[in-house]
């Protein structure tokens, strides 16, 4: 169901809350009408039930919080990768500026084409969960041209060494970006979140509250709170997809200020 990550937040959020509210209020109505009248609660049993619900919510809340923190850290790391690659491109461009004109013009043209390709070709593919491949050929051609340069002075030797070091760093960060395209929570985490939410909501049905309206309001608030936590995780789980997706802004800024013809 990866399509759900591409839904706008304005659709995804209310849809999730409606599903949880429908389940909680509908389930509560059926439970109070058909099951609750058959149950007998003593005072100490009601207290025990309240303690059980509290324990369930504590463990579920802790699990959801840990998952949310992990998703947020991953989201920030993916954004950091894009920034680091753009920085490496900027440094490499300026290193190449010291090369002789016959090499400099061609190398900078190749670097400019690669940056343009990342923005307009690679990023749309990443937003669909597809790992782009064209950049590999571009980097291979760039590396071949870079290695063909033979420095003649000591200054050129130092510049060539620094340039190649920067290029290697660029390749490393590029590999990290490609590896992060399909970063997401394993299915077992989502199973724990979903079934934990169901267990938490169903456990709230067992409170022997006389006024059905009070019971419904409390259950609805619980459903909304759980829905907000799941919505947060859902919005950030796929860093390249959805309204909060990591954007190619660092590359675009670099291209517009430094590389654009």
Q: What is the pLDDT of residues 46-83, one digit of tens each?
A: 566 667 777 888 888 899 999 999 999 999 999 999 99
Distance CA(242)–CA(6), nearest Å, equals: 5
For tokens 């004109």, the residue is 101
pLDDT at 2: 79
Closest-CA residue to 146 (of 198, 93, 205, 84): 93
Residue ranges in the chain whose pLDDT is less than 50: none
pLDDT at 33: 86
Distances (CA, A) of 135 to 81, 113, 120, 228: 16, 10, 12, 39
pLDDT at 41: 62
Contact 102, 187 (CB under 8 A): no
Residues 6+ apart with CB under 8 A from 156: none
pTM, entire model: 0.86
pLDDT at 48: 60
pLDDT at 32: 87
User: Among residues of the chain, what percentage have pLDDT more than 70?
Assistant: 96
């Amino acid at each position: 169901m990866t399509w759900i990550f591409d839904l706008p937040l304005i659709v995804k959020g209310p849809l999730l809350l409606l599903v949880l509210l429908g389940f909680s209020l509908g389930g509560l109505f059926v439970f109070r009408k058909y099951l609750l009248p058959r149950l007998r609660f003593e005072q100490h049993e009601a207290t025990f039930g309240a303690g059980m619900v509290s324990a369930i919510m504590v463990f579920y809340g802790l699990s959801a919080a840990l998952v949310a923190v992990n998703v947020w850290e991953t989201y920030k790391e993916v954004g950091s990768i894009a920034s680091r690659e753009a920085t490496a491109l900027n440094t490499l461009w300026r290193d190449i500026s010291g090369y002789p004109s016959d090499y400099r013009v061609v190398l900078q043209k190749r670097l400019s084409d690669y940056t343009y390709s990342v923005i307009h070709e690679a990023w749309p593919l990443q937003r669909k969960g597809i790992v782009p491949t064209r950049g590999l050929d571009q980097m291979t051609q760039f590396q071949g041209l870079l290695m063909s340069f033979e420095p003649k002075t000591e200054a050129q030797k130092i510049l060539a060494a620094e340039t190649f070091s920067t290029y290697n760093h660029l390749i490393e960060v590029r590999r990290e970006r490609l590896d992060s395209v399909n970063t997401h929570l394993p299915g077992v985490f989502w199973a724990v979140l979903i079934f934990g939410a169901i267990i938490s909501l169903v456990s709230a049905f067992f409170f022997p509250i006389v006024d059905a309206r009070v019971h419904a309001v409390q259950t609805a608030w619980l459903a909304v709170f759980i829905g907000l936590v799941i919505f947060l995780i859902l919005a950030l789980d796929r860093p390249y997809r959805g309204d909060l997706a990591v954007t190619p802004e660092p590359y675009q800024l670099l291209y517009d200020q430094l590389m654009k013809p």
